[in-house]
Amino acid sequence: MAIDRRAFVTRAGALTALGMVSAPALAAEAAGDPIAGWIVVNALGGLGDPNHPTSDTRSAMSPRVLAEAHASGLTAVNVTLGYVAGPEEPFETTVRDIATTDRMIRENPRDLMKILSAADIRRAHAEKKIGLLYGFQNCAMMGKDATRVDVFADLGVRVFQLTYNPANQIGDGSMAPENRGITPFGREVIARLNERRVMVDLSHSGQRTCLEAARASRAPISINHTGCRAVTDLPRNKTDEELRLVAEKGGFVGIYFMPFLDKTGHATAAEVVAHIDHAVNVCGEDHVGIGTDGAVTQIDDLKAYGAMLAAENAQRRAAGISATGEGPDTYPFVVDLRGPDQFRKLARMLAAKGYPPRRVEKILGLNFLRYGEEIWGG
């Protein structure tokens, strides 16, 4: 149904007065872009070119990567830095990676900025830059010294994911069969993270580790990239008990665009929406967002990429860091929800499900921003 200009203005004034939709959302509707003017935050993702993968962070930041990131509408993204798994020395690897990323931002000042606070996310949006939020996906680099929290916080790390899939010195990951809880050292680290106002992220954690860490933390915690186990029963997805506890403590849950959303390993955009909808029903609309676990650069040749990915998946299985649901033919993304238009497509699908614009805007960024304000300050 077409809406003429007078009808649109009348409707805009009424909805804005009722607080049902933001001014940017109305402007977006008028322009035909559902996310125009919005703050879009990916609670776990990355910037890089999957067509030309490289371990060199700086060379990965090509003009195409930057252009497609801007085109996607992305405001800020939590990027994984430092050690996750492998033979490298965790502490040294992590410090070096942080330094390299700092340099990359200095080399691209018109496009990138480092995020240290919620105010920085707002500034990135105002200045039309992509904000990089420094995060970990493993705390192995902590060694046995909780004061290293201070080292990394001072270097600008704002998100500490406590474990990856296996167990570490903090607690058990989602693939650790014992499902032990937080270790005494893990509790010490959590207390230090709370003191330094750093996010405690329980993505990848085992169920007991997640529940115990959420209860031990004095501050709200997050699960920045996950799915809902009630929808798809796989270890990388979180139970309703975990999701509900995070929300009750004022935290944040990000739904990923990953194969674990479907037991076949071939998730679709419709399943992303289904997991978001379940999370909203469990947590409430103020505590759910997105953490895609992927980039926004389009893949040019999906068949060639799949062949390369099969080798990578085999390496992950051999290293013991893969999760149930990964296989030689699974992509680490949702095939029909990728590339620079992924956030717009998701917004349209949520709207088609009956979500009002303000709820969609919260899910795409404002909920994470609210959570960031509480943890880091304004």
Residue 169: inside a domain, yes or no? no
Q: Mind listing the pLDDT tens digit for each residue in 117-136?
A: 999 999 999 999 999 999 99
Does residue 261 sit within a domain? yes
- Minimum mean pLDDT among 125-139, 217-231, 290-304, 337-351: which range? 290-304
Contact by Cβ (8 Å): 160, 138: no
Listed residue (332, 331, 334, 329) closest to 275, CA to CA: 334
Query: Residue 7: what pLDDT?
Result: 31
What's the average model confidence in pLDDT over 197-206? 98
pLDDT digits (tens, 9 = 90+) for 149-176: 999 999 999 999 999 999 999 999 999 9
Pick from 317, 112, 78: nearest CA to 201: 78
Q: Give residue 57's pLDDT band: very low, low, confident or very high (50, 70, 90).
A: low
Which pLDDT score is estimated for 58? 65
- Number of neighbouring beta carbons within 10 Å of residue 9: 13
Does residue 183 lie within any of the structural domains?
no
Give the list of residues 6+ apart from residue 72 with CB closer than 8 angstroms, or none: 40, 296, 340, 341, 342, 343
Give 276's pLDDT tier (boundaries 50, 70, 90).
very high
Per the CB < 8 A criterion, the answer to whether 214 and 224 are in contact is: no
Condensed to tens digits (0 to 9), the pLDDT of residues 353-370 reads 999 999 999 999 999 999
Q: Does residue 183 surpass a pLDDT of 60? A: yes
Task: Give domain status of residue 203, yes or no.
Answer: no
Q: What is the mean pLDDT of residues 66-88?
A: 97
Dig out the tokens for 43 from the structure.
Answer: 């609670």
Q: Which residue has the tokens 């032990």?
A: 180
Eight-class DSSP state of 16: H
Quote the CA–CA distance of 77 and 55 in Å, as a whole number.
19
Exposure of 371 in the CB half-sphere (CA atoms within 13 A)? 34
Report d(CA 191, CA 103) in Å as an integer: 31
Tell me, yes or no, whether 127 lies in a domain.
yes
186 within some domain = no
Q: Is position 175 within any domain?
A: no
Residue 167 belongs to a domain: no
Question: In this structure, what CATH number is given to the domain that contains residue 86?
Answer: 3.20.20.140
Query: What is the residue range of 270's domain?
Result: 36-162+219-376
Mean pLDDT over each residue of the chain, to the nearest integer: 90
String of b and e for 79-115 (b: at least 16 CB within 10 Å)? bbbbbbbeeeebbebbbebbeebeebbeebeebbbbb
Closest C-alpha to 190, from 164, 166, 209: 209
Range name among 3-7, 233-237, 263-267, 273-277 with the lowest pLDDT average: 3-7
Name the residue among 105, 48, 115, 129 with its Cα closest to residue 299: 48
Count how many domains the chain has.
1
